[in-house]
């Protein structure tokens, strides 16, 4: 028996309203969440056409699916995946055609699904577990006959064939989904070894983040101040209605992350000496958010969603900064010069009719109008400026030239310009003496520092 996809009714309305406008087809992404029993689709967004495609509509009338731009569609998937909080994934693709298509059509869709997943997976600091659902969906809608063909492919099996799946609509699917929110303080020091000078700064940084990611994966997660068994129901202990259904007293859970400062005493510790040409520092506090369905969710699924949002948001910000530096051709400092850069801060926006919010990242010089336009371009849904929710404060970038290069998420250095500070309490576990100390840190926009050492 194939997978079952429970789909928000507004997704069906969105798909039925898409006008081909003379094109042979329109394609896009399906966004939602996997679970062991069924998958949930809460949003669909068409892939924006290239400018040259808009200029050649007449030629596209006779186009075959061979003209489906795999690279362009994959890049759209990469951009949208950055906008998804923990718990949400690009579940697959949809395509609307004027005619029913044959086997060549299905092969093209299959290649697209695998190409998207391969590209998105390269950017992740985490891996799917063996227990997780590895099927991704393709939805084909024929605009003339109104027929729907829903099939899945196992992305872990390159030779997998299409399997039929059920596509069922449900009203108000995600209105009662649960959210988990967390502020994570990071202070990551990444040495740039002289033996890795052939690597790009981006690759060196990602390798360094991979070591930090293990701390996040192995951390202890407190949900509303409690450590819960991972196999327990997340809503255990909540009141039940007269019909026997669980009623969450709050749709939001507060999460604290406790990471080990030292290795366990039963593990051997070794020191490595490296000759370094510089270093990268990531420092500050980031806002993280994850969502999970309300159909008997497990604690382990909620914790996993939060872990992945923490890893994704830090990695995505670093990647965006490097892209911005390349795009603006900002020269790399030499010798002992100092660079200070601010990582983009997070902005959330609600999905109409849902408790779920998506996100994007804003550099200091970007306006609210630009953020709104980017949301509309990527998600193909109307967004109002007043709906934008800024999760972090804006900090000023300080570029100075000294022996050390520093970039910070916080405004904690004496040399930095004084800004109004918003403080929060960060729990820090000192495992060697078993003491929990509460320390106040400034929560500002994330930043990054580069240290270059002269010979």
Query: DSSP states of 303-368 as a string?
Result: HHHHHHHHHHHHHHHHHHHHHHHHHTTPPPP-TT-EEEEEPPEEEEEEPTTSS-EEEEEE-TT--H
pLDDT at 406 over 60: no
What pLDDT is stored for residue 75 in this prediction? Answer: 96
Quick: pLDDT tens for 66-103: 568 899 999 999 999 999 999 999 999 999 988 766 66
Instruction: For residue 39, give Cα distances in angstroms to 5, 88, 208.
Output: 5, 11, 34
Categorize the per-residue pLDDT at 22 as very low, low, confident or very high, splitting at 50, 70 and 90: confident
Tokens of 295: 């159909």
What pLDDT is stored for residue 15 in this prediction? Answer: 96
Share of the chain above pLDDT 70, in %: 73
**Helix/strand/coil for 405:** coil
Regarding beta strands 239-240 and 246-247, do their DSSP bridges make them parallel or antiparallel, or are they unpaired? antiparallel
Categorize the per-residue pLDDT at 405 as very low, low, confident or very high, splitting at 50, 70 and 90: very low
- Are 358 and 90 in contact, with CB atoms under 8 Å apart? no
Categorize the per-residue pLDDT at 37 as very low, low, confident or very high, splitting at 50, 70 and 90: confident
Q: Which residues, 6 or more positions from 289, have their beta carbon under 8 angstroms from its beta carbon?
A: 85, 86, 179, 180, 181, 182, 309, 348, 357, 359, 391
Quick: pLDDT tens for 428-453: 222 222 222 222 223 333 455 555 54
CA nearest neighbour of 343 among 292, 429, 282:
282
What pLDDT is stored for residue 236 in this prediction? Answer: 83
pLDDT at 221 over 80: yes
Q: What integer is the mean pLDDT of 181-187?
A: 90
pLDDT at 360 over 70: yes
Quick: pLDDT tens for 135-169: 999 999 988 888 999 999 999 998 889 999 999 99
Report helix angle 70-82 to 299-327, nearest 10: 120
pLDDT at 125 over 90: yes
Q: Which residues, 6 or more positions from 65, have their beta carbon under 8 angstroms from its beta carbon?
A: 24, 25, 95, 97, 101, 104, 105, 108, 109
Q: Which residues, 6 or more positions from 355, have their beta carbon under 8 angstroms from its beta carbon?
A: 174, 175, 176, 177, 179, 251, 291
How far is residue 455's CA from residue 442's CA, in Å, rounded to a whole number? 35
Instruction: For residue 44, give Cα distances in angstroms to 13, 153, 182, 239, 292.
Output: 10, 19, 27, 34, 18
What pLDDT is stored for residue 403 in this prediction? Answer: 31
What pLDDT is stored for residue 303 in this prediction? Answer: 97
Q: Out of 117-131, 323-337, 347-361, which region has the weakest mean confidence (pLDDT)? A: 323-337
pLDDT at 217 over 90: yes
What pLDDT is stored for residue 275 in this prediction? Answer: 79
What pLDDT is stored for residue 349 in this prediction? Answer: 95
CATH superfamily of 4-48+66-170: Cytidine Deaminase, domain 2 (3.40.140.10)
How far is residue 305's CA from residue 290's CA, in Å, rounded to a whole number? 6
Place of tokens 């055609």: 97
Categorize the per-residue pLDDT at 266 as very low, low, confident or very high, splitting at 50, 70 and 90: low
pLDDT at 219 over 80: yes
Tokens of 231: 């196999």
Tokens of 425: 């309490």
Categorize the per-residue pLDDT at 337 as very low, low, confident or very high, splitting at 50, 70 and 90: low
Q: Out of 284-293, 402-411, 420-429, 443-452, which region has the weakest mean confidence (pLDDT)? A: 420-429
Bridge partner list, 358: 349
How far is residue 80's CA from residue 46's CA, in Å, rounded to a whole number? 11
Residue 418 DSSP class: P
Query: DSSP states of 127-184 as a string?
Result: ---TTS--EEEEEEEETTT--EEEEEEETT-TT---EE-EEEEETTTTTT-EEEEEEE
What pLDDT is stored for residue 375 in this prediction? Answer: 95
Q: What integer is the mean pLDDT of 33-41?
A: 93
Place of tokens 């994934």: 89
Region of 319 please: left (phi>0), alpha (psi -120 to 50) or beta. Answer: alpha
Tokens of 161: 């064939």
pLDDT at 213 over 70: yes
Domain ranges of the chain: 4-48+66-170, 177-236+249-262+276-327+342-395
pLDDT at 327 over 90: no
Torsional sign, CA 112, 115, 304, 46: negative
Tell me which of 114 and 430 has the higher pLDDT: 114
Bridge partner list, 285: 185
Q: Which residues, 6 or more positions from 57, have their beta carbon under 8 angstroms from its beta carbon?
A: 21, 22, 23
Tell me which of 354 and 52 has the higher pLDDT: 354
What pLDDT is stored for residue 234 in this prediction? Answer: 92
pLDDT at 207 over 70: yes
How far is residue 282's CA from residue 213's CA, in Å, rounded to a whole number? 13
Q: Out of 110-124, 301-315, 395-409, which region has the weakest mean confidence (pLDDT)? A: 395-409
Q: What integer is the mean pLDDT of 327-354?
A: 76
What pLDDT is stored for residue 436 in this prediction? Answer: 25
pLDDT at 52 over 80: no
Share of the chain above pLDDT 90, in %: 49
pLDDT at 371 over 80: yes
Longest dimension (CA), the chain: 74
- Are 25 and 96 in contact, with CB atoms under 8 Å apart? yes
């Amino acid at each position: 028996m194939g997978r079952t996809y429970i789909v928000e009714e507004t997704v069906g309305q969105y798909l039925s309203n898409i006008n081909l406008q003379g094109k042979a087809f329109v394609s896009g992404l399906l966004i939602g969440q996997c679970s062991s029993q069924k998958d949930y689709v809460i949003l669909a967004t068409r892939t924006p056409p290239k400018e040259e495609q808009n200029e050649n509509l007449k030629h596209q009338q006779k186009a075959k699916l061979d003209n489906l731009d795999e690279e362009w569609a994959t890049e759209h998937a990469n951009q949208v995946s950055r906008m998804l909080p923990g718990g949400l994934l690009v579940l697959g693709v949809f395509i609307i055609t004027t005619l029913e298509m044959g086997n060549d059509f299905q092969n093209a869709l299959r290649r697209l699904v695998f190409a998207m997943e391969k590209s998105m997976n390269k950017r992740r600091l985490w891996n799917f577990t063996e227990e997780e659902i590895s099927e991704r969906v393709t939805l084909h809608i024929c605009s003339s006959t109104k027929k729907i063909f829903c099939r899945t492919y196992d992305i872990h099996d390159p030779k997998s064939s299409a399997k039929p799946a059920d596509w069922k609509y449900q009203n108000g699917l995600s209105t009662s989904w649960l959210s988990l929110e967390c502020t994570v303080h990071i202070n990551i020091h990444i040495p740039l070894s002289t033996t890795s000078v052939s690597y790009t700064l981006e690759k060196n940084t990602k390798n360094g983040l991979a070591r930090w990611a293990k701390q996040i994966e192995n951390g202890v997660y407190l949900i509303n101040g409690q450590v819960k068994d991972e196999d327990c129901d997340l809503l255990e202990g909540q009141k039940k209605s007269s019909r026997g259904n669980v009623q969450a007293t709050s749709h939001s859970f507060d999460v604290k992350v406790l990471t080990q400062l030292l290795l366990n005493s039963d593990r051997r510790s070794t020191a490595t000496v490296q000759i370094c040409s510089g270093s990268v520092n990531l420092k500050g506090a980031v806002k993280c958010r994850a969502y999970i369905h309300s159909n008997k969710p497990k604690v382990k699924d909620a914790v996993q969603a939060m872990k992945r949002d923490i890893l994704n948001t830090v990695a995505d910000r670093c990647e965006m900064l490097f892209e911005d530096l390349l795009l603006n051709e900002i020269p790399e400092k030499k010798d002992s010069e100092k660079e200070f850069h601010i990582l983009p801060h997070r902005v959330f926006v609600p999905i109409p009719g849902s408790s779920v919010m998506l996100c994007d990242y804003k550099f200091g010089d970007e306006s609210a109008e630009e953020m709104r336009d980017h949301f509309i371009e990527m998600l193909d849904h109307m967004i109002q400026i007043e709906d934008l929710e800024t999760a972090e404060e804006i900090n000023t970038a300080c570029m100075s030239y000294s022996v050390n290069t520093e970039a910070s998420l916080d405004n904690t250095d004496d040399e930095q310009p004084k800004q109004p500070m918003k403080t929060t309490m960060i729990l820090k576990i000192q495992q060697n003496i078993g003491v929990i100390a509460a320390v106040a840190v400034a929560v500002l926009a994330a930043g990054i520092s580069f240290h270059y050492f002269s010979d």
